[in-house]
Structures are given as C-alpha cells and as structure tokens.
Amino acid sequence: MSDKTVTIEINGMPVDATAGQMLIEVTDREDAYVPRFCYHKKLSVAANCRMCLVEVENAPKPLPACATPVMEGMKVFTHSNAAIEAQKATMEFLLINHPLDCPICDQGGECELQDLAMGFGRNVSRYTERKRVVKDKNLGSLVSTDMTRCIHCTRCVRFGQEVAGIQELGTTGRSEDMEIGTYIERSVDHELSGNIIDLCPVGALNDKPYRYSARAWEMLAKPLVSPHDCAGSNLFGHVLRGRLKRIVPRDNESINETWIADRDRFSYEGIYADDRLTAPMLKVKGDWLEVSWSRAISEARDVLRTSVGDDGNRLGVLVSPSSTVEEMYLLNRITRHIGSNNIDHRLRMRDFRDQDADPVWPALGMPIAALEELDGVLIVGSNLRREVPIVAHRIRKAAIQGASVGFVNPSAYEYHFPCAAYVEAPVQLLSQSLASVLVAAIEMDGGKASEAVRLGIDIAGINESHRAAAQVLLGKKQALLLLGQITLRHPRFADVRAIAAALCEVTGAKLGYLPEGANAAGGALSGVLPHRGPGGQVARTVGLNASEMLTDPRQAYLLYGLEPEHDFSNATLVTQALTAADTVVCFSSYMTDALLEYADVLLPIATFAETAGTFINVEGVWQSFDAAAKVLGNAREGWRVLRVLGNELDLPACEYRTTADICDALAAELGNQDLDTSYKGRFKPTLEEADIDILALDVPMYAIDAIVRRGSALQETAAARESKSI
Amino acid sequence: MSKGALSEQVCREIDHWVAKFPKGRQRSAVISALQAVQHENQGFLTQDLMDAVAEHLDLPPIQVYEVATFYSMFETDPVGRHCISVCTNISCMLCGSTEIVAYLEKKLDVKLGESTEDGKFYLKQEEECLAACCGAPMMMVNHDYHENLTPQKIDEILEELD
Ligand code: SF4
Ligand code: FES
Ligand code: FES
C-alpha cells in the first residue's frame, strides 16, 4: 500500500486519507457512522453482507464502504437517501431468514443485527413465506449455537483462518442451504476460540456457560485484568447484583488487542465453585469451627507468634504468583517483620542456583506489541500457545510477516505458523541441546566468540537443526530468545539460562522470560523472594526458597492463595512438610480436604474479581483494578486481611486505607527502577542430564491455578480432557 | 484418515494439478482433486476420502468439505452408478423439461435427487443451465450430452446403459 495521501469528501467534509485505505476505515475515523456486519478491523475484508453500502458520487450504484478503496476527490455520502435506501434494502434481505427470536436470545440488547434493524429495518415484515431453519451445531462446552440466527457474515470463519491459524468452522452448502459449521460434528478447540462469541454480530454463537443467566442491559461492566498468565490481558467483568456473570475482552491494542484466551473468559465459573471458603475457620482440638474475623486474625497472630518465637527462620511463607502487588508487598513486610526471609512465589521452580543473577523481575524484555516487529524468535522450553496464548498470537503474527521463529522443545507442539527451526530437545537433555545451538552459532558466526562466551562447552554432533536454530537469531535486526515455563521449571534451569545468555551474546538477541502466574513481576518487585527485598535490593540474610522450605521443613507456614498439592513442583514433599508443621495459616479462597487436614487457621480471601489490586505484567506494565463482584459470603479482600494482621503483629506504618496507598508505598521503595533486565551472571553451566519427566514440567493449560481448575466448562474441553487422560 | 485412501493414480493426478498453481496455493487444486477422487469412487465422495484429500493437500479438512458441499457436481452421499442430470433452467423449461423430469421420475420410480433402489441410476437435481440451450430440452448422462429429448429417446438412451 502506498503512503500517498488523498483528499476525499465525507458528507461534504473534506478529509485526508491514505490511498488504498478502505472507505470504512476513514468513515470510522471521522465518526461518520456506517452500519456493518461482516467488516471487522482485525479481520480481512469479505464484503459479503452489503450492509455498509454508501453513495459515492458518479458511481452507478451504492458501493460497500468496507471494500472500496479511497481515491482522490471521491465524494461519499453515508446518510443520503440513496445510501439509506440501500442499507434498508439490505436489512430487509438479512431479516428474511432471521428468526427474530430476540426475546429468547442472549444477544438481545447487545446485538448488532437488533441495533441495525432498529435503525434501518421496517417495522413490519413484507415477507410471508416460510423461513429457513438450520440445525444447531455442537461446538463443545464453551460456545453455544443457534444457527438459524446466522447471517453468514463469516467473521467466525475468518477468525479461524486468520487469527487462530487453524480453520475449524467453515461454510458448507450453497445459497439457501449454506450453513456455518464444522460439517462433521466436532468441537472448536483452539485456545482463543471463545473470541468468535464476540465476533458474531448476532446470537448465533454465544457464551455457553452464561446462557440464559442474565440480560445484557441489567449488568454492569467492570474492568478487570486476567489473573492467569503474565500477559495481563484486559477484561471486562459483567456483573449482575454483585455476581460475576461473564467475562469479555476489554480492548487494549498494546496487550491483548481485542482478544482474550478462553482461560480468561471462562475461568470465572471457578469463583462460584462449591468448595469456596466463605467464613474464617479455626481448628480447635481437631475440630473445625467457624469463627469471627477478629477471632481468626488474633488466633493467626498467636499461633504464628508461639510457633515462631524469637526465631523468624522457623516460618516459611509461600505465595501464589497470581496474588496482587498489594497482597505481595504486605506479605513481604509481614514476613520480614516477623524476622523471616523465607518467602517465595516461585512455587513450581526447581533450580535456584543462579538466582542472584535473576533480573529485577522476570521480563519479556520488550513490550508485548513489539513482539510483532521481531525478525527472529527462538523459544526455548515452552508450550507457548498453552502458557501465554496472547504472546503466542503476537509471535504468530511476527512469523506470518516473515520473522523466523524456532523452537528448542521437548516436543513439537502444534503451532499454526511457519516454523523456521525445531530442535528436538528431550527434557532430560535441554541444556545439551541448547548448548549445541550455541556451538553452532559460534561456528557460524566465524568462531570469533570469546572464551567466556564459549563457557568451556565442547560438543560434537551438531546437526542441521541446531544450525537452523542458530540461524533464527544470527544476523537479525531484532531477535529474542524466550525462556518458557518448561525451562523455568527445569531442574537445570541455571545451566539452560547461562547457555541462553551466551547465545544472546553471540547473536545479539535479547533474553526474555515467560514466568507463570499473573504477577510474577509483582512478586519479584515487591520482595516476595528469599534473597531480595522490594525492587531487587539484596537481602542481608538469604532466606530459604520455595523448594528449600519443603526439603528443610519449617515449624510454621503461611500459605497465600494456594492449593499446595497442585501448585508445587513436588506435591508429596509439600504435603509432608505441611502435615509435619506445628502451625499452618492459610489464606485461601477454597476449602479443600487437604487444607482441612494440615491447616490450623483458614482465612477466606477474595478472588481476582472480588478484590481491588494491581498486577504487573511481563513487560512491566502496572495494571490496577477495582473489585468487580461482591466477595462471596464472609470472605474478605486479601490486602485488608493482611493489613489487619500487620496491625495485630505491630507492623509499623501499616495504616493503608486503599490499595493505592500500598502501591504508593511500594513505588516509593522502588524509586527509579533500573529496567535493564538482561543477564549479567557468571554462572558456569555443566551439561548434566536431568532426572525429570516432561509431564512434570508441562503443566496443562487448564490446571494452572485454583480458579481455572474449578472452571467447569473449561474442564470439559478437549484440551482439558486430553491432559487428564495422560 | 491415512493417505492410503487415495490411489496412486489419483495422487498423481492431484499433484499434476497442484503443480499448476504457485507454491503454497494448493488450496486452488481442491476442485480438481475432488473430481479425480469422485470419479474413481463411482461418482460420490465420502468423509474419509475428503479427509484424505485434505491431508494430501495439507489443508484443514473443513476447507475440503466447504468445496464439496458447495458445488452441485460433487456428491457427498452414495448415489447410483449412472448419473442423469436433466437441465431445468429457463430454455429447457420452456421447451418441456418439466415433462421430461416427470417421465424420468415415473420410469425410474424415484424423485429428483434420488437413486434407484438397485443402485443403477441417479436422477440428479441440476442447478444451472448446462449450456446446450439450442438443443433444449436436454440432459447429461455420465457427462454425455443428449439433446432434443422425447420420452422415446430417453428410453433408448437408458436402454444402452448397463
Ligand atoms: S455464526 Fe455469527 S459470526 Fe459466524 S457467520 Fe454466522 S453470523 Fe457471522
Ligand atoms: S460490512 Fe461491508 S459488506 Fe459487510
Ligand atoms: S437452459 Fe437447459 S441447457 Fe440452457
């Protein structure tokens, strides 16, 4: 497309436009409303609904604004009689076969067809013949269908082809018999597939779990941030009388564009799971009693004081990486106040040998949107689509625009884009495989790398795949080496990272991380680490990390937002340690049999949608949100409980009144952060084989945290069933 | 479905068509591929065959189903051995195709769109003008054109088929 500017006239107003731009982009920019169904700014132009017809001077008939490129001197009328007449005629045709069942349709009130029928439809139908009926399709547990309502705009089909990268839906049959479907019965399984619900302009594709449970106009839309991965997708929670009814995307071009992962959309069911903990509970002589908040908190204070005594080191604090910044900062303060440095949020990590060289926060090293501009990406140890679907989507876009994208992975996970290199790296040998890529890169770079970069590695058996992977990064203007969650959880993580850093040095690529949880960055920055305080200040005494707290059991534990048997690398070890401890104080949203077994105090806390808070995403953006839904039962927002506990423990300067106060306090401690997140360590890797199984490292997409595990619709998807059957 | 469902002959024919299009545009060869497959499979497609075509062309299966269900020249259900398509478009209709269809329906004891019980004849529902208006009314039997039809002529034509 040329960048030539042309001047056109819209409804008599002269405006500038770029030659070749479609008319609808210009009318949208100028706020000259043009009705549409098939056009969507993120999809290709199909021009099949004809709703966007406008009058163009000297054109013999109305033209579709979505498929008409602007030309110098073009005079466009969006509201002239001819335009309106054409739009009305289109509307009449579209309604011929539409069932007009708005009173029983979930889309009612937010339906593009309904809106446009109001604006452009006749109030009485002239059509007296029989309407067609289309059989509904079973697309799985997430998307409901009422296919008679479909107007064949093909947005859902184009989404599959262009955004998901795998076409699951298609148009079968022709003319009167044309249908949207999968032809043979099958579910739509892509991790972004829920977005077709928003794309569908009518009520043909809808949110299945939400079906018939509220009306669009009764609900309030409250901004939220995704609690499941480090992208920090922006969401709206739709709330009816305090209850979260559904989640839809909130546009943010720089993070999630207009998409969200199915995990973000459907996990909210977990908030209302049967085993929600809704009242503070206390174990008294082996029996559980519901108690008042004041009793529960003072009891928590007492048991902590008694079992810790004057040796803070007896306490271990384990925190979910999806807790808010405010919660984490208070936990950090309370822990240090008690005299312990044993605090960590890196629950599924196994190798902490080189933790001193960790960046201030595990960062992507660039904005998420900038991923699209990369020309080389090497992904090491990551089931990317399932770990962070939004990041995978950006990388797919880069690949389609010509970037070389390669993988060093234990398995060839399915990616719907051209893959420039794939090094099959059995998990046991991840460091060796990456070292081979390093050696290949040094060789291909002319062998001028320094001794230090060579890391003393000497490997035979370099093959084409290693060279191809090196080529992904070599000689690129903007390249990224991305360490995924399989790498982060790997028992030889330090080795892999040191090699990755050397590879970055040879190739000039950046090093990025994809940590788990919604707020690993917040955890690191607020000091939920045994070796660092807020903002990366080096701790005077290094405490025990998440793994050491279990191998070297503590007398007392404080657990925050976890289900220990699912959220740790080693479930047996954690259960043993907690069962043996004198005291276990649990802040939890759920009451599980396991917690009842080893806990002494259960403090019910709000989930992500019921609390105010802040998440810091992988690019370092702080995103604050307010509570959207009412907290269930007698549970409370975590930060409030922590503040009161802080007061009870005589924590100085703990008079925070809002979450903003807490953020301000943390920000003051952080001062001006050094945002350089590159690797400066000097770790000397060895290439030992790791004794580990891939199933232990690749946590399934719908098992990642307590809320997702309780999302019943997600648990019925093919992806969840498949991972359970292994 | 494995590639095995396609015969070597058909695979060769498909590849011949694929080679005519730019690299990466093998989707353009779907119609020709399905024609070859249908021809070899007694005039109809099965899901297994369509899946095999999709796999051979490295396309999502739905893109093959779309084409197969769109074009009236593809059958996605089993049909009789001999395919009879009577043109019912405007010229033929004016010249009496309605009677021709009625005659055939009665003679074969099937309705338009059905196959005879013995699996010998398939009376296809034709959608478009078959481009032989000058000889209307006309029909196509197994790709052969027969023009200026009369009931007697129809009897003779069908007699010839085994
Ligand atoms: S189902 Fe919805 S999105 Fe898909 S073609 Fe029909 S109307 Fe469009
Ligand atoms: S929006 Fe232009 S034709 Fe559908
Ligand atoms: S109308 Fe029958 S051949 Fe043209």
Task: State the SS3 of A412-445.
Answer: CCCCCCCCCEEEECCHHHHHHHHHHHHHHHHHHC
The residues in B 117-146 lying below 8 A from A, measured between CB atoms, are none
What's the mean pLDDT in B14-28? 95
Which is it for the CA torsion A64, A70, A72, A77, positive or negative?
A: positive
Measured in whole angstroms, the distance separating CA A629 from the mean position of its chain's CA atoms is 20
Q: Domain for residue B50, yes or no? A: yes
Q: Are A325 and A669 in contact (CB under 8 A)?
A: no
Band the pLDDT of A371: cuts 50, 70, 90.
very high
Q: Are B66 and B12 in contact (CB under 8 A)?
A: no
What's the mean pLDDT in A517-544? 94
Residues of A in contact with B65 (CB under 8 A): 170, 172, 183-184
B152 in the same domain as B92: yes
B86 in the same domain as B60: no
User: pLDDT at position B126, please?
Assistant: 86
B91 in the same domain as B48: no
In a mutational test of the A interface, the residue from B62, B74, B76 whose CB has the highest number of chain A CBs within 10 Å is B62
Note the ligand closest to the C-alpha atom of A202: 1
Q: Domain for residue B32, yes or no? A: yes
A534: cis peptide before it, omega within 30°? no
Contact assignment for A170 to B65 by CB distance below 8 Å = yes
Q: Are A146 and A203 in contact (CB under 8 A)?
A: yes
Q: Domain for residue B77, yes or no? A: no
- Reference A390, options A195, A244, A170; nearest CA is A195
Residue A430 has pLDDT above 80, yes or no: yes
Band the pLDDT of A560: cuts 50, 70, 90.
very high
B95 in the same domain as B41: no
**Nearest chain B CA: its distance from A678 CA (Å):** 39
Q: Are B13 and B58 in contact (CB under 8 A)?
A: no
- Reference B98, options B116, B112, B119, B115; nearest CA is B112
Residues A43-74 have pLDDT tens digits of 999 999 999 999 999 999 999 999 999 999 99
Distance A41 CA to ligand 2 centre (A): 12
Contact assignment for A170 to B63 by CB distance below 8 Å = yes
| Beta carbons within 10 angstroms of residue A19's beta carbon | 14
Q: Are A144 and A205 in contact (CB under 8 A)?
A: yes
Q: Which residue has the tokens 């859902």?
A: A156
What's the mean pLDDT in B90-114? 95
What's the mean pLDDT in A631-648? 97
Complete edge-to-edge strand list for the sheet that includes strand A243-249:
A220-225, A234-240, A243-249
Distance A65 CA to ligand 2 centre (A): 7
B45 in the same domain as B113: no
What's the mean pLDDT in B90-117? 95
Structure token pair of residue A207: 């949110």
Q: What's the pTM?
A: 0.92
Contact assignment for B62 to A182 by CB distance below 8 Å = yes
Contact assignment for B69 to A172 by CB distance below 8 Å = yes
With both helix axes pointing from N to C terminus, report the angle between A325-338 and A638-648 in degrees, rounded to the nearest 10. 20
B145 in the same domain as B87: yes
Residues A156-192 have pLDDT tens digits of 999 999 999 999 999 999 888 999 999 888 888 899 9
Q: Which residues make beta-bridge pairs with A240?
A: A243
Q: Which residue has the tokens 């005299």?
A: A339
Q: Domain for residue B75, yes or no? A: no
Distance A63 CA to ligand 2 centre (A): 10
A156 lines ligand 1 (CB under 6 A): yes
B57 in the same domain as B23: yes
d(CA A112, CA A221): 18
Domain boundary among B70, B94, B122: B70
Q: Which residue has the tokens 């790709």?
A: B143
B130 lines ligand 3 (CB under 6 A): yes
d(CA A167, CA A190): 10
Q: Which CATH number covers residue B122? A: 3.40.30.10
Residues of B in contact with A184 (CB under 8 A): 47, 61, 65
Residues of B in contact with A183 (CB under 8 A): 61-62, 65-66, 69
Distance A91 CA to ligand 2 centre (A): 12
Burial class (CB in 10 A: 0-12, 13-18, 19+), A135: exposed
B14 lines ligand 3 (CB under 6 A): no
d(CA B15, CA B62): 20
Q: Which of B60, B63, B69 is facing A173, going by the closest CB pair? A: B69
Burial A557-576 (b: 16+ CB within 10 A, else e): bbbbbbbbebbbbeeebbbe
Q: Which atom of ligand 1 sits closest to the CA of residue A155?
A: 3
Distance A258 CA to ligand 2 centre (A): 20
Q: Which residues make beta-bridge pairs with B122?
A: B83, B115
- What is the residue-averaged pLDDT of chain A? 94
* Residue that wins the pLDDT comparison between A125 and A63: A63
- Nearest residue (by CA) to ligand 1, atom 8, is A153
d(CA A607, CA A701): 19
A397 lines ligand 1 (CB under 6 A): no
User: pLDDT at position B1, please?
Assistant: 40
Residue A2 has pLDDT above 60, yes or no: no
| Beta carbons within 10 angstroms of residue A552's beta carbon | 11
Note the ligand closest to the C-alpha atom of B90: 3
Backbone angles phi, psi at A159, to 5 degrees: -55, -45
Q: Domain for residue B96, yes or no? A: yes
Q: How many residues does chain A have?
A: 726
d(CA A556, CA A314): 6
- Reference B64, options B42, B39, B34; nearest CA is B34
Structure token pair of residue B77: 């259900």
User: pLDDT at position A423, please?
Assistant: 96
Residues of B in contact with A169 (CB under 8 A): 62
Distance A518 CA to ligand 3 centre (A): 66
Residues of A in contact with B34 (CB under 8 A): none
Q: Which of B62, B70, B72 is facing A167, going by the closest CB pair? A: B62
Chain B CB within 8 Å of residue A169 CB: yes
Band the pLDDT of B75: cuts 50, 70, 90.
very high
Q: Domain for residue B42, yes or no? A: yes
Output the DSSP codes for A245-273. EEEEE--BTTTTBT---HHHHHGGGGGG-
d(CA A704, CA A714): 12
Output the DSSP codes for A373-388. G-SEEEEES--HHHH-
Domain boundary among B70, B101, B121: B70
Residues A579-604 have pLDDT tens digits of 999 999 999 999 999 999 999 999 99
Band the pLDDT of A726: cuts 50, 70, 90.
low
B127 in the same domain as B107: yes
Tell me the percentage of chain A whose pLDDT exceeds 70: 99
Q: Are A445 and A513 in contact (CB under 8 A)?
A: no
B110 lines ligand 3 (CB under 6 A): no
* Residue that wins the pLDDT comparison between A678 and A88: A88
Does residue B87 sit in helix, strand or coil?
A: coil
Q: How many domains are contained in chain B?
A: 2
Q: Which of A167, A173, A174 is facing B63, going by the closest CB pair? A: A167
Residue B3 has pLDDT above 50, yes or no: no
* DSSP single-letter state for residue A164: I
B108 in the same domain as B63: no
User: pLDDT at position B112, please?
Assistant: 94
Q: Are A4 and A48 in contact (CB under 8 A)?
A: no
| Beta carbons within 10 angstroms of residue B35's beta carbon | 16
Q: Which residue has the tokens 């098992």?
A: A703
Q: Domain for residue B97, yes or no? A: yes
User: pLDDT at position A459, please?
Assistant: 80
SS3 per-residue string spanning A478-529: CEEEEECHHHHCCCCHHHHHHHHHHHHHHHCCEEEECCCCCCHHHHHHCCCC
What's the mean pLDDT in A475-487? 97
B52 in the same domain as B30: yes
Find the domain containing B87 and state its range.
82-159
With both helix axes pointing from N to C terminus, report the angle between B61-70 and B47-57 in degrees, rounded to the nearest 10. 120
d(CA A213, CA B33): 47
Q: Which of B47, B66, B71 is facing A170, going by the closest CB pair? A: B66
Which is it for the CA torsion A58, A59, A64, A67, positive or negative?
A: negative
Q: Domain for residue B107, yes or no? A: yes
d(CA B107, CA A321): 77
Q: Which of A37, A137, A152 to mutate to test the pocket of ligand 1 (most atoms within 8 A of CB)?
A: A152
Q: Which residue has the tokens 């090094």?
A: A423
B143 in the same domain as B104: yes
User: pLDDT at position A675, please?
Assistant: 64
Q: Which residues contact A166 (CB under 8 A, 6 or more apart)?
A: A160, A190, A416, B60
Chain B CB within 8 Å of residue A400 CB: no
What's the mean pLDDT in A612-619? 97
User: pLDDT at position A536, please?
Assistant: 87
What's the mean pLDDT in A8-33? 95
Q: From start to end of A182-219, where are the E strands? A: 205-207
What's the mean pLDDT in A650-670? 94
B66 in the same domain as B96: no
Q: Which residues contact A448 (CB under 8 A, 6 or more apart)?
A: none
Chain B CB within 8 Å of residue A167 CB: yes
Tell me the percentage of chain B whose pLDDT exceeds 90: 90
What's the mean pLDDT in A361-367? 94
What's the mean pLDDT in A464-478? 96
Residues with CB under 6 A from ligand 2: A 36-39, 47-52, 64, 66
d(CA B42, CA A671): 78
- Reference A419, options A391, A389, A395; nearest CA is A395
A202 lines ligand 1 (CB under 6 A): yes
